[in-house]
Structure 1
Amino acid sequence: MNLTGRTVLVTGGTRGIGRALTRRLVALDAHVVAVGRDPDGLARLGAEYGDRVSAEALDLSDPEAVGDFADGLPGRHPALSVVINNAGVQNLSDFLTADPRDTRTVLRRELAVNLDAVITLSTGLLPHLRDRPSAAIVNISSGLAIVPKPSAPVYCAAKSAVRTFTRALRYQCEDSAPQIRVIDAILPLVDTDMTAGRGRGKISAAETARAVLEGVRRERTEIYVGKARFLPALMRISPSLGHRALRHG
């Protein structure tokens, strides 16, 4: 799949992996519709890339706003042919010590960004993508969807749901719209603001973006990035070992 000259939606495009994806896509002469909540970050993208990037403000935790955005986007960007659902938030949660009344709003926002927005944008833009001769939906997932860690149960659950949704949507497209590639990108621990102060052996956002886009170019249905490449084999050989690694990691 050639990304040169395409119009690509990147959620979470102002920072971390999204910013790195935007940079690489612009270098490929693609036009990027970068979505984010930070007005300053969106302004910096516009200043840096000019008309190569269309920066659009959107709160992905607001389901109504996400639905309206999906409905209106094809009219503003009729050449759109690739959607990368990259944005994500992760909250560390200890349900045995936290007051559930204090955490509900935060956890619902986490689900809205990590799962609801992915489903709404994927399905909402599907009628437009179906009319394109070649298109792709790339949903950024995580190794934590396969092997969860105890400190972020809602994030892990949402990413697991994204993987299942992506696979089922891929089946539908293979049957009825084979020109639409539906791709799951499974990431390891990436060095971003979200993971600051957590874990070791992180991969850079730039290397992550390179690997994801290379997987798209090669038309992979699943893109395992960095150390996540070892997960399928590990879980085949010894699921208990895989779970134990994150259980005590």
Structure 2
Amino acid sequence: MHLNDRTVLITGASRGIGRELTRQAVARGAHVVAVARGFDGPAGDRVTHWPIDLADPAAVADLADRVTQRHPDLSVVFNNAGVQTLTDFLTDDPRDLRPVLRREIAVNLDAVVALSTGLLPHLRRQPSAAIVNVTTGLALAPKRSAPVYCATKAAVRSFTRALRYQCQDAAPHVRVVDAVMTLVDTDMTSGRGANKITPAAAAASILDGLARGTDEILVGRSRLLPPIMRLSPALGHRILRNT
């Protein structure tokens, strides 16, 4: 699947991987509906900014209802936006955490499900289409410091696989793809971790994997994790526990 002359929707398009996905998709000939609360990313006549707070279910539902009216040839959706909250449930005040974690769940999981399912009736009417959900190696083995983030990404990974099964049976021209990230040098990972890849490299891996027709795009060192988890789950959990 190539992006030339396609209309694609990218969430979290103003920063990090989403910003690079927008830039590179335009370079590959796509028109991009760039979804973000604020936008200072690539501009031009091939980028349409759609301001939205993905933590607001009503706004997400409105996006799913209206975007295909304005962009009837939309055929690819990248659910890329994500929020990560570092938490210690033994020391943090749960009353303070509750609204923060609900927002994390809304952006990372609820919005992904709502956009994937809300846009699916339109996508299945296209000659070919794709939903690409960006997850992480932490969906396979969580880290200690972000329990809710890891849980939401694990849920998205499971949702993505199950939705792929449904599309394979009833709409095989709609591909459902899991893009599994390694550690990427973004605002989210600032000040921690080593051996990060650039957002440009992460975005290129996603787009190249989509072009190859891969259902699971393993980016960077995340390629090592599935075989490790098959051979020794304990080792995989130990490796990622304190990342």
Range of TM-score over shorter length: over 0.9
In structure 1, which of residues 153, 172, 178 is the aligned counterpart of residue 166 of structure 2? 172
Q: Please give the alpha-carbon distance, in whole angstroms, between the structure 1 residues aligned to 2:92 and 2:21.
A: 36
Q: Please give the alpha-carbon distance, in whole angstroms, between the structure 1 residues aligned to 2:165 and 2:139.
A: 20
Contact 2:17 2:199 in 1 (8 A): yes
Partner secondary structure for residue 190 of structure 1:
coil
Aligned partner letter, 1:237: L
Q: Is residue 206 of structure 2 the alignment partner of residue 206 of structure 1? A: no
TM-score, reference length from structure 2: 0.98
Contact 2:145 2:242 in 1 (8 A): no
Q: Any idea what the Cα deviations from partners look like across 1:114-150, whole Å, max 9, x if unmatched?
A: 0000000000000000100000000000000001001
Q: Please give the alpha-carbon distance, in whole angstroms, between the structure 1 residues aligned to 2:2 and 2:234.
A: 40
Contact 2:181 2:222 in 1 (8 A): yes
Q: Please give the alpha-carbon distance, in whole angstroms, between the structure 1 residues aligned to 2:175 and 2:97.
A: 37
Q: Please give the alpha-carbon distance, in whole angstroms, between the structure 1 residues aligned to 2:220 and 2:100.
A: 30
Q: Is residue 90 of structure 2 the alignment partner of residue 93 of structure 1? A: no
Tell me how many residue pairs correspond in the alignment. 243
Gaps of at least 5 residues in structure 1 are: none
* Aligned-residue offset at 1:98: 1.1
Partner secondary structure for residue 44 of structure 2:
helix
Structure 2 partner of 1:189: 183
* Aligned-residue offset at 1:236: 0.9
Q: Any idea what the Cα deviations from partners look like across 1:78-111, whole Å, max 9, x if unmatched?
A: 0100000000010000001111111000000000
Q: Please give the alpha-carbon distance, in whole angstroms, between the structure 2 residues aligned to 1:2 and 1:244.
A: 38
Superposed counterparts of 1:208-227, under 5 Å? 208-227=202-221
Q: Please give the alpha-carbon distance, in whole angstroms, between the structure 2 residues aligned to 1:92 and 1:109.
A: 13
* Aligned-residue offset at 1:49: 2.9
- The structure where helix makes up a greater share of residues is 1
Q: Please give the alpha-carbon distance, in whole angstroms, between the structure 2 residues aligned to 1:111 and 1:175.
A: 29
Q: Please give the alpha-carbon distance, in whole angstroms, between the structure 1 residues aligned to 2:15 and 2:45.
A: 19
Partner secondary structure for residue 24 of structure 2:
helix
Q: Which aligned segments of 4 or more residues in structure 1 are displaced greater than 6 angstroms?
A: none
Aligned partner letter, 2:13: G
* Aligned-residue offset at 1:229: 0.3
TM-score, reference length from structure 1: 0.96
Structure 1 partner of 2:17: 17
Structure 1 partner of 2:96: 102
Gaps of at least 5 residues in structure 2 are: none
* Aligned-residue offset at 1:248: 4.0
Q: Any idea what the Cα deviations from partners look like across 1:179-210, whole Å, max 9, x if unmatched?
A: 00000000011000111001111010000000
Structure 1 vs Structure 2 CA RMSD = 0.8
Q: Please give the alpha-carbon distance, in whole angstroms, between the structure 1 residues aligned to 2:189 and 2:71.
A: 33
